[in-house]
């Protein structure tokens, strides 16, 4: 003959079943969708921060077309300068896979990785900079040469002293840039901020959505 289940055991069983059901219900809830950057955006130059030393020509307008489907984010940015127009196309993946994008000017290939941080989209770009490690003067100056990182760069000191050159040791310094993209609460403003070894953005672009 089976023994009756005690009242205490029944209570424990009911509480356990309730907790398991709550966990399952919570896991089955669908997370709110991430914001979509899809649209046409126009740069608000007056509200943006673009150092003039980075821009040799005056910017007249910037139009940004974004297609955001799944993890793929395709950005086509057209900048109208004084007398010329430049278009840059960039493809990012929000799932963290490696990205490679070639700049329209020059042969530089930009490598990066992109991920979500809350409702912000964060892109990390590693940067290798060639910087001097030492400097000295020697002579006579025969020519100007550069034999790569770790070697030396030779340049004439000046016309007044042509018999001497500057010898400069070179090395690679590893750093990175961080690009943060975020939408305003009403979805009508896109802010793109670029950071370099600082909590303050070196470039801040504020775009308004085109209806």
Q: Domain map of the chain by residue range?
A: 39-209
Cβ–Cβ contacts within 10 Å for residue 191, how many?
18
Q: Kindly give the parts of the chain with pLDDT less than 50.
A: 1, 12, 14, 20, 25, 27-28, 141-147, 149, 151-153, 157
CA distance 201 to 122: 13
Query: What whole-number distance in Å separates Cα of residue 165 and Cα of residue 31?
Result: 64
CATH topology of domain 39-209: Lipocalin (2.40.128)
Q: Report pLDDT digits (tens) over 115-162.
A: 999 999 999 999 876 656 655 555 554 444 444 545 444 555 455 555
The tens digit of pLDDT for each residue in 175-188 reads 789 999 999 999 99
């Amino acid at each position: 003959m089976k023994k009756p289940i005690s009242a205490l055991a029944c209570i424990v069983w009911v509480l356990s079943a309730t907790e398991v059901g709550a966990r399952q219900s919570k896991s089955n809830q669908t997370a709110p969708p991430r914001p979509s950057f899809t649209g046409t955006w126009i740069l608000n130059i007056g509200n943006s921060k673009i150092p003039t030393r980075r821009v040799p020509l005056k910017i007249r307008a910037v139009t940004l077309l974004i297609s955001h489907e799944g993890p793929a984010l395709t950005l086509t940015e057209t900048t109208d300068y004084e007398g010329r127009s430049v278009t840059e196309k960039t493809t990012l993946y929000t799932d963290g896979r490696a990205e490679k994008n070639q700049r329209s000017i020059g042969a530089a290939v930009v490598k990066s990785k992109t991920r979500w941080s809350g409702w912000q989209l964060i892109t990390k770009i590693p940067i290798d900079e060639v910087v001097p490690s030492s400097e000295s003067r020697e002579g006579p100056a025969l020519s100007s040469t550069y034999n790569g990182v770790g070697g030396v760069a030779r340049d004439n000191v000046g016309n007044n002293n042509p018999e001497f050159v500057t010898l400069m040791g070179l090395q690679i310094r590893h750093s990175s840039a961080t690009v943060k993209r975020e939408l305003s609460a009403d979805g009508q403003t896109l802010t793109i901020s670029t950071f370099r070894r600082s909590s303050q953005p070196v470039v801040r672009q504020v775009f308004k959505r085109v209806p």
